[in-house]
Amino acid sequence: MKTRIQELRKRRRISQSELADALDVTRQTIISLESGKYKASLVLAHKIAQYFDAAIEDIFIFEGDENIC
């Protein structure tokens, strides 16, 4: 799974710490999400989508076997 979090964050010119503060998570979680090491829960994915005013599937891009069709 790829994410567009870093791209959207940079477009808004906010730091990882600021995003982490807004989402009530640690900065390390943002780093892991951006690097694709960690997959967000549905709740966190929803919060991120709300924060960037976008749909979840526009931020989290599922690949290969992760899609059912």
Partner 1 sequence: MLGIFCARKVSSNEDYRKYARRCCFAYAGLALAGMITAAIALAAEYLWEAAVSDMMLGVYTGVGTGLIVGGLILLFKNLYLLKNEKKLRQARIAGSDERNIQISALATKAALAVLLVGIYFAILVGGLWYPILAKALMFLVVLFMFSYVVAYKVISMKI
Which position has the token pair 């290969």? Answer: 64
Longest dimension (CA), the chain: 36
At position 1, the amino acid (one-letter code) is M
Q: How many residues at the interface with partner 1, by CB under 8 A?
A: 12
x/- map, 1-40, partner 1, by CB under 8 A: -------------------x---xxx-xx--x-----x-x
What H or E segment, with its residue span, contains residue 61?
A: strand 60-61
Among 34, 44, 49, 51, binds partner 1 (CB under 8 A): 44
Which position has the token pair 């807004």? Answer: 22
The residue ranges that bind partner 1 (CB under 8 A) are 20, 24-26, 28-29, 32, 38, 40-41, 43-44
